């Protein structure tokens, strides 16, 4: 016997059987509804991009260690997109003159990251993106937060189950520059360290940053940033805060944003966290990660933030953007944890599908003609190609849960008629072909959901 290939997909990749896809599509459709009520338009960009645009703006780790690289010709390297934001920036830069601001776009790309597969992490995944561009005010940030809350509440989640942990990179800049005297060029290192902090033990983290900065004051300061649940709690940990800190853009912007959250009644869903900085290089303002408040899903469900100069790779124009990328798989784990996915969503609903049972092969052409006729009226129907043994065909229709079966035999064919059977009441009657559609409507009106 010849060797058989594995039935499994590649490691970290997933086959979606129809019930899995139905569930995923149900989640995506709900989010699509939110996009619609906020006026976000859908767009799409290629799955392959030149590697340079990600190398310049995403993160070194993402490009060097976590990307799938495709070699087109020798030396010409392309990347299977690990995220969408650089592609979005490219598309906006190309047409920025003609696009009306603010631009509100969403997309649902398939992304690829060469990560160790684990709970919530795959190598191929759907990541829904919402971004608002050309809206510099904090109302843009507020809108994104509102969208996040609406997505969760649309599924029935409550503030007890999820929280948006937010911070502001400009605020952390001010803390580092004005209070800790971190040299400006070292700020990206602080972000990298804080982003890794969550995965490290306290002692390990302390060792890691003290080796990088070789400065006790900075090390202790960054340790304080690791966990503070409010601005007050963080600032209480520092003595002699200079006045220019309170005048800094970062401090003021964060306070203003909190006021907006309060006015919009979003505070219940949001918590400040000085440790949230996001791993990608391009963020400059408000940043956030959404977490499950329970213990089952420890990783961030998804995150995003404001980026001010992403377009600079493609043009001299400066357009600021704010948005997030939501891993649909991550969200599905959260929804599953709180039983927020209806059980029956995974099953195909055949109740409105009409089942056509032809009694023998001689009626097959007539049965197929009837099928086409009712499909033209936008009714779904399936034809049983066994063309024998009516009892078995009716049993099959029952198993599928069809509400209506059409029975077609030689008598029906000869007289241009069809027998229509209500599978719920088990009544049946024979009608002219021309009356059939009306009869179908009648049963659906009386018995449909």
CA angle 113, 117, 120 (to 5 degrees): 90
Binding mask 65-84 for ligand HAM (x = CB under 6 A): ------------------xx
Work out which of 228, 248, 300, 320 binds ligand HAM, going by CB under 6 A: 300
Give the whole-angstrom CA distance, residue 206 versus residue 154: 41
- 324 makes contact with ligand HAM (CB under 6 A): yes
Contacts for 182 with CB less than 8 Å, ≥ 6 apart: 176, 190, 213, 218, 221
Token pair of 418 as six digits: 């069809």
C-beta closer to ligand HAM: residue 277 or 374: 277
Give the whole-angstrom CA distance, residue 185 versus residue 2: 61
- 327 makes contact with ligand HAM (CB under 6 A): yes
Options 120-128, 352-360, 374-382, 387-395: segment touching ligand HAM (CB under 6 A): 120-128
- 320 makes contact with ligand HAM (CB under 6 A): no
**Phi and psi dihedrals of 32, rounded to 5?**
-60, -40
Report cis status (omega within 30 of 0) of the bond before 102. Answer: yes
Half-sphere exposure of 168 (CA within 13 A, CB side): 20
Give the whole-angstrom CA distance, residue 159 versus residue 151: 12
> Could you tell me the smallest distance in angstroms from the CB atom of residue 55 to ligand HAM?
15
Number of residues that bind ligand HAM (CB under 6 A): 24
- 129 makes contact with ligand HAM (CB under 6 A): yes
Q: Give which of 335, 336, 324, 329 is closest to 13, Cα–Cα.
A: 329
Options 31-39, 118-126, 135-143, 367-375: segment touching ligand HAM (CB under 6 A): 118-126
For residue 368, the SS3 value is helix
C-beta closer to ligand HAM: residue 221 or 325: 325
C-beta closer to ligand HAM: residue 85 or 168: 85
> Could you tell me the smallest distance in angstroms from the CB atom of residue 21 to ligand HAM?
16
- 168 makes contact with ligand HAM (CB under 6 A): no
Please give the span between the terminal C-alpha atoms of the chain, in angstroms, as a whole number.
53
Residue nearest to ligand HAM (CB): 327
Binding site for ligand HAM (CB under 6 A): 83-85, 113, 115, 121-122, 125, 127, 129, 131, 280, 300, 302-305, 323-327, 329-330
């Amino acid at each position: 016997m010849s060797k058989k290939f594995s039935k499994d997909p590649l490691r970290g990749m997933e086959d979606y059987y129809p019930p899995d896809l139905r569930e995923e599509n149900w989640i995506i459709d709900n989010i699509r509804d939110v996009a619609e009520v906020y006026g976000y338009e859908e767009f799409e960009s290629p799955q392959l991009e030149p590697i340079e645009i990600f190398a310049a703006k995403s993160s070194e780790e993402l490009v060097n260690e976590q990307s799938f690289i495709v070699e087109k010709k020798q030396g010409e390297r392309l990347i299977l997109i690990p995220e969408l934001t650089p592609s979005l920036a490219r598309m906006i830069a190309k047409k920025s003159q003609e696009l009306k601001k603010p631009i509100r776009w969403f997309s649902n790309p398939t992304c690829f990251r060469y990560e160790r597969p684990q709970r919530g992490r795959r190598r191929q995944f759907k990541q829904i993106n919402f971004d608002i561009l050309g809206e510099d005010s904090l109302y843009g940030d507020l809108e994104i937060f509102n969208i996040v809350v609406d997505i969760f509440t649309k599924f029935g989640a409550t503030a007890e189950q999820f929280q948006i942990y937010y911070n502001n990179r400009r605020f952390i800049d001010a803390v580092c520059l004005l209070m800790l005297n971190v040299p400006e060029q070292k700020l990206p290192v602080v972000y990298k360290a804080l982003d890794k902090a969550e995965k490290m033990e306290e002692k390990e983290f302390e060792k890691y940053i003290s080796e990088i900065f070789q400065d006790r004051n900075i090390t202790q300061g960054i340790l304080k940033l690791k966990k503070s649940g409010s601005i007050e709690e963080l600032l209480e940990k520092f003595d002699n805060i200079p006045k220019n800190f309170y005048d800094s853009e970062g401090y003021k912007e964060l306070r203003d944003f909190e006021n907006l959250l309060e006015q919009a009644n979003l505070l219940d869903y949001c918590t400040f966290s000085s440790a949230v900085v996001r791993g990608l290089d391009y963020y400059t303002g408000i940043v956030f990660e959404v977490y499950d408040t329970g213990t089952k899903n420890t990783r961030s469900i998804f995150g995003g933030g404001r980026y001010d100069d992403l377009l600079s790779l493609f043009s001299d124009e400066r357009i600021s953007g704010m948005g997030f990328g939501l891993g649909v798989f991550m969200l599905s784990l959260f929804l599953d944890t709180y039983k927020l996915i209806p059980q029956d969503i995974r099953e195909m609903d055949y109740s409105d599908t009409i089942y056509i049972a032809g009694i023998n092969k001689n009626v097959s052409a007539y049965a197929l003609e009837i099928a086409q006729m009712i499909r033209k009226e936008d009714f779904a129907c399936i034809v049983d190609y066994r063309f024998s043994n009516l009892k078995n065909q009716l049993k099959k229709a029952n198993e599928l849960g069809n509400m209506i079966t059409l029975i077609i035999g030689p008598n029906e064919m000869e007289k241009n008629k069809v027998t229509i059977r209500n599978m719920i009441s088990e009544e049946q009657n024979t009608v002219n072909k021309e009356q059939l559609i009306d009869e179908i409507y009648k049963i659906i009106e009386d018995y449909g959901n």
